[in-house]
Amino acid sequence: MAVIQNKFGATIIVGSTSYHTYRTWGLIMTSQDPIGDPELETSYLQVMGRSNLLDWSEALTGGPVFKGRQITMDFAMQTEPVLWSTIVSEIRNSIEGRQVKIIFDDDPSHYWLGRIQVKDTDRLTRLGKMQMSAYCDAYKKERASSQEKLKWDDMNFLTDVLRYLGTIQITESGTVTIPRGDSNGVVPTITVTELGGSSLTMHSNRPNKNYTLISGKNRFPELKVCGDYDVTLTFSGDAKVAIDYRGESL
């Protein structure tokens, strides 16, 4: 990650409060690649009479599982020596030990979710240094779910896909295609309202299966969207449908 005019940084969100590492605190990020590698969860079994280990890391999930990943951001700033301890205290009081969303300036449409710590604070005359470290989920998450409109300023027009669906009126029948584009399939929540009959039926192409939806929230663990394939859902009945999911990516 390149530092752009010494202003590249990250937005750290605690609850409903946002802090930007440069604009709020004047911290200049010196880390070129603050996002660590995901930790792969593996499982091998030694079988008697077999020369090689049996790899059953994907036996339960059908795909790789990751524990998490470390984000380590190093910062420096010019400061008056008498103000350094006050600045450190202000930052610690704002974010220390809290679960946060971290949004990097060069990837504004995604956030990392984890718990953050302020570490290695140090000062040499007028130069202060510190590190922010967070252990985060392995997958970064899209800032806007399929029920939220992504702001233009938060979008990368080269890579992002508009996934907003809103509420869909189904009259007798209707089809929704959810495009692929992320490396991790997500189970959507399908909320049915204003149901015209006793139930609403839905067919999915992946998996090739029929479902019966009832009024309220519906989830089916084997039905995942935003993965390796486009998913087409075909509805039969009369109702309003809201398909809610948030894409994830390594």
Query: What's the CATH code of the domain at 122?
Result: 2.40.30.200
pLDDT for position 14: 98
67 and 100 in a common domain: yes
pLDDT of residue 1: 41
Q: What is the pLDDT of residue 64?
A: 81
Residues 188 and 112 in one domain: no
In a domain, 5, yes or no: no
**Do the domain assignments include residue 112?**
yes
Residues 32 and 86 in one domain: yes
Q: Is the peptide bond before 207 cis (omega within 30 degrees of 0)?
A: yes
The parent domain of residue 96 ranges over: 10-138
Same domain, 205 and 114: no
The number of distinct structural domains making up the chain is: 2
Whether 52 and 30 map to the same domain: the answer is yes
Nearest to 77 by CA among 66, 88, 69: 88
Quote the DSSP letter at residue 214.
-
Shared domain for 192 and 124, answered yes or no, is no
| Residue 232 belongs to some domain of the structure | yes
Q: Which of 115, 138, 161 is the last residue of a domain?
A: 138
Average model confidence (pLDDT) for the chain? Answer: 88
| 1 lies in some domain | no
| Token reading at 127 | 């130069």
Q: Do 91 and 33 fall within a single domain?
A: yes
Which residue stretches of the chain have pLDDT < 70? 1-7, 50, 56-62, 152-160, 182-183
Q: Considering the entire predicted model, what is its pTM?
A: 0.85
Any idea what the Cα angle at residue 247 is, between residues 241 and 250, rounded to 5°?
Answer: 165
Whether 159 and 215 share a structural domain: yes
DSSP H or E run through 235? strand 231-244
| Contact residues for 240 (Cβ-Cβ < 8 A; gap 6+) | 167, 168, 169, 170, 192, 193, 194
